[in-house]
């Protein structure tokens, strides 16, 4: 009986430790988002003490949302920083990191352009047949997106706005105010060429 109680206590202790670590991580992210609150006239919402925070604000009079999701892949936990910008685009396209795209959807891709960034990472831009997409990839703001957005998984642009997902194993560092502000400025400049 004592062994059973000890085992239950050990399980509860480990479970409690994991909740504490998760809470501490999301507390750090929450603090970073509070800095965004000041810079981008927004609010941070967090539904419970261990929940992921969500930022809603405005950038140049456009709605901006930053939230988080996670995925377990190849034995490691990845966190996605999901950025939505309510800035419609005349150009509908997707820019995807090829390694990320292969891990998500190994099916054959059609009508694309493959472009390498300054670090040698390959990005797939679709649809390649559109003249607007061909013009977009010549823009400096496009090069900035594939060169400087750290952990870029994909960007989708369309009439409803821009959706961007950045993937990281260190969400506290990736969500630090300096990094988030840099990423938001890059996306804002990119939206200007769309």
Return the domain boundaries, the chain.
Answer: 2-193
Read off the pLDDT band of 22 (50, 70, 90): low
Whether the predicted pLDDT of 6 surpasses 80:
no
pTM confidence score: 0.84
Whether the predicted pLDDT of 18 surpasses 60:
no
Whether the predicted pLDDT of 19 surpasses 70:
no
**Which are the contacts of 86, defined by CB distance < 8 A and separation ≥ 6?**
62, 63, 64, 160, 161
Beta bridge partners of 81: 68, 166
Cα–Cα nearest to 173, from 191, 151, 157? 151
């Amino acid at each position: 009986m004592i062994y059973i109680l000890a085992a239950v206590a050990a399980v509860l202790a480990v479970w409690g430790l994991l909740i504490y670590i998760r809470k501490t991580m999301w507390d750090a992210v929450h603090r970073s988002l509070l800095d965004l609150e000041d810079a981008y006239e927004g609010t941070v919402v967090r539904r419970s003490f261990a929940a992921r925070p969500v930022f809603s604000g405005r950038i140049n009079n456009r709605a901006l949302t930053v939230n988080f999701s996670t995925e377990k892949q190849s034995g490691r936990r990845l966190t996605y920083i999901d950025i939505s910008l309510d800035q419609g685009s005349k150009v509908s396209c997707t820019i995807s990191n090829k390694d990320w795209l292969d891990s998500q959807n190994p099916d054959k891709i059609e009508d694309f352009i493959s472009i390498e960034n300054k670090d040698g990472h390959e990005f797939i831009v679709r649809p390649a047949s559109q003249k607007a997409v061909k013009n977009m990839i010549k823009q400096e703001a496009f090069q900035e997106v594939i060169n400087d957005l750290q952990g870029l998984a994909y960007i989708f642009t369309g009439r409803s706005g821009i959706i961007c997902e950045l993937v990281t194993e260190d969400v506290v560092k990736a969500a630090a105010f300096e990094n988030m502000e840099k990423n938001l400025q890059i996306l804002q400049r990119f939206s200007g060429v769309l």
